A and B are shown apart, each in its own frame.
Chain A
């Protein structure tokens, strides 16, 4: 089980959290101006990184706040966690 450090509550068991997928995906500012391929890229395509992966988690059974994390998808080591509106440490 992962030990995940919530930026507000500190280190807690993985079972308190829910996974929110890849981080830093930005909705195209003008969806009507882009073609289907660009929209599909936003909706469906993922980096699926093997190695250090930036992702979102929510402390569902805790403070219920979202945050970002950088985690190695091979070793599962978590390098850092930080609030959504801040830059990565």
Chain B
């Protein structure tokens, strides 16, 4: 692999930047692999990378129906944090946050991880009680967190509307200093390049059309490039998990919904942290280019349409203007929707399926980007050993039979 550094940049500058090699090979699929990963988003590429790096399994193909990072990896608001209430979720997202902290060095690719902190606002007495409980739970789990009052919020974001007669008065917030944002495209490209360097085949424009099974065991997949055999198959898709499960002959407790976000015209630096409000369901941060990145909740109905509805947009923009009157004349540049698979308990499904050798890592709902490294790390362990790691054991499909849900939706009072 050509190492990226200030010296390589200077050396290539001398030759007019004409001799850079592609970051990963355009691999042609072989007939058989030890492990096939379906889905070339951040989670799938991270899985491939940790399979090769941590477990020494390099006979791996990543099959992507479109192009690398063209799905939800490139359709999110790039916020990462680990301030979840339950021990199971806290362990999973904190593992991820720890990996984020060293990721750029680990994969020699600048993912522009910026630990600028996240505020989760509270607007009423119950919000503040939930915030205190969650911050206490976080600290018991070794995760940084503080409870701020109104003045503390105002100090960090001076232009937020904290007047007492606001429709949603700001009574305080939880504050996680280690949280932040990263550049989403770089995450996909960096993992793809690092996995490719270790021998993983990344095959773009290769859609999986069927899951081959013999005697209850997976033996490979049918694709638009023909049949490819495999000992183990890991499905890491967003939006279409149910379609893949249908190919393998079982059902999932997931429903697909559109989730939308938008980006404003570029402004001078004004917001140096991330502010989320679950009660009014809007979250905002400022990108390095100066654009405000604004996210919302999902559309209520099931949909695969890759676009959001106008009344959802109106709902979160109304909340935005109420909280930040300074944004009222802002013009929006881009708007997009992605399809998210939401589960009944707002937690992902990572582990075994009713088919031997077939593993699923799906159902991340609206909060998958932050988990990219940790998700890949635990799923690589699951694919390599055939058993879940202790971190992803609580996130089995079985939990919907046993009733041991990881119910972050009701308890955390944070957006997902």
Contacts and interface: CB of A to CB of B under 8 A. Distances in A.
Interface in B236-260: 240, 242-243, 251-256
Given A36-B401, A37-B401, A40-B401, A48 B311 contact: no
Contact of B309 (A1, A37, A74): A1
Given A1-B311, A50-B243, A40 B400 contact: yes
A14 B301 CA distance: 11
A47 B250 CA distance: 10
Given A40-B401, A44-B400, A76 B305 contact: yes
Interface residues of B, number: 24
Contacts of A75: 305
Secondary structure dominating the interface of A: mixed
Size category of the binding interface on chain A: 20 to 34
A71 B300 CA distance: 14
B318 interface: no
B304 interface: yes
Nearest to B343: A44
A28 to B, nearest CB: 15
B303 interface: yes
Interface string B287-327: 00000000000001111110001110000000000000000
A46 interface: yes
A48 B252 contact: yes
B344 interface: yes
Contacts of B402: 36
Interface of A: 1-2, 14-15, 18-19, 21-22, 36-37, 40-41, 43-50, 53, 55, 71, 73-76
The 10 closest A-B pairs by CB, nearest first: A44-B253, A48-B242, A45-B251, A19-B300, A44-B400, A19-B301, A36-B401, A40-B401, A40-B400, A15-B311
Given A1-B310, A43-B400, A73-B304, 4 more contacts: A21-B302, A37-B401, A44-B344, A71-B301
Interface of B: 240, 242-243, 251-256, 300-305, 309-311, 341, 344, 400-403
